[in-house]
Each structure stands twice: as C-alpha cells, then as structure tokens.
C-alpha cells in the first residue's frame, strides 16, 4: 500500500521553514491511513509526501511523512499523530542519522537517436535504470533522495517529460536506532 499526497504549499518560505522526515509505526489495519491523512487535513498540516508499507512485524506498518514546516508546527504534527490510537510510535528522524529514499518513474520524449544516447548516459551517471523504450519515448526508474530525483528531473526536462510518478520518501534510521 503506497500513497502519495501532494498538497499545496501555504506556509511561506521563510528561514524558519525546513524539510523534515517523520517516521511512524502504526497498526496494520484498515482505516489507519485515513485517520492520519484526515488529521493532517483537519489541522492544515502541509505534507509533501506520505508512504505506508509493511514492516518486519506483521501487525505494524511503517509510515514515512515528509513535510516542509516550522518547528512549532512540526511539534504539533508529532503530538497530534501520537494522540491517534492506531499510531504506536512517532519520531522525527534526523536526516544525517537516517537513510531515506524515493523512487521515481519518468517517461520522456526520445524520438531521435541523439536524445536516446544522451538520456542513457545521464541515466547511467545517476545510476538510473532504463525500464522501457519505444520509438518515441524512454522510461527511466531512478532511486535516491528527493534532491537527487529533482536534479535528474531538471536535467532531462528539456527532452520533454511525458509522465512522471514519484513514490514519496521511505526512511529508516541508521544503526541501532529504532
């Protein structure tokens, strides 16, 4: 179960707003994602992405939430999440002490041999995989931090992006951190 939510940014881009990774362990049962996203909507928390998937424990799912927000709102977001009965644990992950990745599928125009050559070489530099090619287009799979995906996207933008799908970020803390 993977879902990406993009919400419009209402928070001004001032100095106090920064990017945060929030990890939550939640009960693996129906309705939990609804409760979490409904909370974000009701309290106007600005979410960049949210991913949910199974974990090493059958009855728990791991949720990774990314958000651009100020510290005060982040504090409320975490506290309100903790109040949800189905949310077992919530932590703000420090980016330097965590590994976080996103996957993107990008289909772009490649109707000329030179374009195909160029895209293929960029893909190899970014360690992206070519998933599909037909006479007019190429589909690439790229995994990395959101920044890396943004960089690749900007690089290939000039070829003409036909379709793009991003999964949102999944994250785990490094080492023994829970």
Partner 1 sequence: MDMLGAEALIKALEKEGVDIVFGLPGGANLPIYDALVDAKLRHILVRHEQSAAHMADGYARIKRKAGVCFATSGPGATNLITGIATAYADSSPMIAVTGQVPLAMIGKDAFQETDIIGVANPCTKYAFQPRSVAEIPETVKKAFYISESGRPGPVLIDIPKDVQQAREEVSFPSLIKVRGYNPIVDADLSQLERAVQAMMKAERPIIMAGGGVILSGAFSELQALAELLMAPVVTTFKGKGSFPENHALAMGPIGMHGHAEANKIIIEADCIIAVGARFSDRSVGRFDEFGKGMTIIHLDVDPAEIGKNKAADIAVVGDVKSSLRTAVKMLTKYKMAKRTADDPWLKRRKELIDYYADSIKDYPRELTAKKALKKLRELLPPSAIVTTEVGQCQMWASLHFDVIAPGTFFSSTGLGTMGFGFPASIGAKAARPSSIVVDIAGDGSFNMTENSLAVSVLDKLPVIVFLMNNYMLGMVAQWQRTFYKRRYMGVHQQNCPDYAKIAEAYGAQGLRAQSLEELDTALKKAMNTDVASVIDISIDPEEDVYPFVAPGTGLKDMITGA
Residues that bind partner 1 (CB under 8 A): 26-27, 31, 34-35, 38, 42, 72, 75-76, 79-80, 82-89
Q: How far is the CB of 17 from partner 1 (least distance, A)?
A: 17
Residue 122, Cα to own-chain centre: how many angstroms? 22
**33 three-class SS:** helix
CA distances from 94 to 11, 133, 161 (A): 21, 39, 33
The nearer residue to partner 1, 43 or 97, going by C-beta atoms, is 43
Q: How far is the CB of 69 from partner 1 (least distance, A)?
A: 14
Q: Which residues contact 163 (CB under 8 A, 6 or more apart)?
A: 105, 106, 107
Q: How far is the CB of 38 from partner 1 (least distance, A)?
A: 6
The nearer residue to partner 1, 40 or 159, going by C-beta atoms, is 40
**51-68: b or e for each residue (b if 16 or more CB lie within 10 Å)?**
bbeeeeeeeebbbbbbbb
Cα of first residue to Cα of last residue in the chain, in angstroms, is: 22
The nearer residue to partner 1, 31 or 53, going by C-beta atoms, is 31
Q: How far is the CB of 6 from partner 1 (least distance, A)?
A: 22
Q: How far is the CB of 107 from partner 1 (least distance, A)?
A: 34
The nearer residue to partner 1, 26 or 93, going by C-beta atoms, is 26
172, β-bridge pairs: 99
The nearer residue to partner 1, 35 or 116, going by C-beta atoms, is 35
- Return the structure tokens found at 31: 């309705």
């Amino acid at each position: 179960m993977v879902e990406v939510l993009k919400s419009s940014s209402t928070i001004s881009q001032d100095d106090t707003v920064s990017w945060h990774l929030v990890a939550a362990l939640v009960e693996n049962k129906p309705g939990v994602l609804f409760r979490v996203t409904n909370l974000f909507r009701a309290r106007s928390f600005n979410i960049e992405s949210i991913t949910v998937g199974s974990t090493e424990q059958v009855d728990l799912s791991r949720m990774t939430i990314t958000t651009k927000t100020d510290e005060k709102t982040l504090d409320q977001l975490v506290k309100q999440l903790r109040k949800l009965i189905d949310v077992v644990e919530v932590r703000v992950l420090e980016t330097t002490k965590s590994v976080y990745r996103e996957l993107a599928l990008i289909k772009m125009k490649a109707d000329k041999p030179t374009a195909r050559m160029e895209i293929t070489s960029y893909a190899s530099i970014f360690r992206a995989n070519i998933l599909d090619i037909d006479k007019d287009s190429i589909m690439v799979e790229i995994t990395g931090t959101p920044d890396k995906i943004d960089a690749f996207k900007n690089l290939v933008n000039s070829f003409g992006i036909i379709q793009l799908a991003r999964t949102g970020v999944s994250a785990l803390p490094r080492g023994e951190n829970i």
